[in-house]
Amino acid sequence: MEKNMNEKLKKLISENTKVENFNLDSDFDDLGMDSLDKITFVIYLEEEFKIEIADETFSEWKTIGDVQEYLEKEKII
């Protein structure tokens, strides 16, 4: 995985969540994102990238880096 966060992902997180300071190692729970925030975030991802993310896929994500890794693996970013 790249060391730097993809700019599109970074912008999406900044604009669509209440999270201000984060990096690839940022844990969703440590960022104060509750379950509703996480679902909302997935909806933003699905709309922005015109994809469907399975519930079981998202439930495995613990960090922002996990999201980027998934998007890169699926060749979305």
User: CA–CA separation, 62 vs 69, rounded Å?
Assistant: 12
- Joined together, the tokens standing for residue 11 give 């912008």
Q: CATH classification of 7-16+23-73 is 3.40.50.11540, yes or no?
A: no
Q: Where are the domains of the chain?
A: 7-16+23-73
Q: Catalytic site residues?
A: 34
User: What pLDDT, in 10s, does the model give residues 28-49?
Assistant: 988 888 889 899 999 999 999 9
User: CA–CA separation, 1 vs 33, rounded Å?
Assistant: 24
User: What pLDDT, in 10s, does the model give residues 14-31?
Assistant: 887 777 789 999 999 888
Look up residue 17 and give its DSSP letter.
S
